[in-house]
Amino acid sequence: MSYLQDELKGTAFSKYYVDVEYNRNNGKVKTIINENIETIPINCDLIIHSRGENINQDNLIALEMKKSVNRESAKSKDKNRLIALTKDNFDDVWSFDGTSLPEHVCRYELGVYYEISAAKRKVYMEYYIKGKLAYTKILDF
């Protein structure tokens, strides 16, 4: 978190915050709507956002991290959260009037799923943009 916050200094994103396990939206718990139109409270591992200070683009990056030994259901839940967070809207309904934050969170510019396998010495990364998996990458370490 501190490293990323330092990286933002002196850039166009210097007024954004890096938060761990942050789930507030103007004092309320951040929520998304899943594919079953259920309201789900969210709590990402790490997010970069304006904490509501930039109404036009509050949310920049959502990051979810897992160990490769985690259950597939937990991994899938994180990936589905990133899909929802990076959508521009929910079924073409988004209550953003330009003066207040929407009821449900979306419009993150980028969602990153990061999975580390210590045994294989690999990092698997998936990048989500506009509610879709945009590309994947595997790094050796």
Among residues 77, 69, 82, the alpha carbon closest in space to that of 112 is found at 82
For residue 110, the model assigns a pLDDT of: 97
CATH number at residue 88: 3.90.1570
* Cβ proximity of 36 and 4 under 8 Å: no
List, for residues 79-112, the tens digit of each pLDDT value: 988 998 898 875 555 455 555 556 667 789 999 9
Q: In DSSP terms, which residues pair with 63 in a beta bridge? A: 46, 112
List, for residues 49-62, the tens digit of each pLDDT value: 988 888 788 889 99
Domain of 43? 2-140
For residue 25, the model assigns a pLDDT of: 59
Single pTM value for the model: 0.83
Report residue 34's pLDDT band, with 50, 70 and 90 as the boundaries: low
The percentage of residues in the chain with a pLDDT greater than 70, rounded to a whole number, is 82
Q: How much is the mean pLDDT over the chain? A: 85
pLDDT at 27 over 80: no
For residue 91, the model assigns a pLDDT of: 54
Q: Specify the number of domains making up the chain.
A: 1
List, for residues 12-26, the tens digit of each pLDDT value: 999 999 999 876 655
* Cβ proximity of 61 and 112 under 8 Å: yes
- Cα gap 57→92, rounded to integer Å: 18
> 40-44, 91-95, 129-133: lowest mean pLDDT where?
91-95
For residue 21, the model assigns a pLDDT of: 80
* Cβ proximity of 126 and 133 under 8 Å: yes
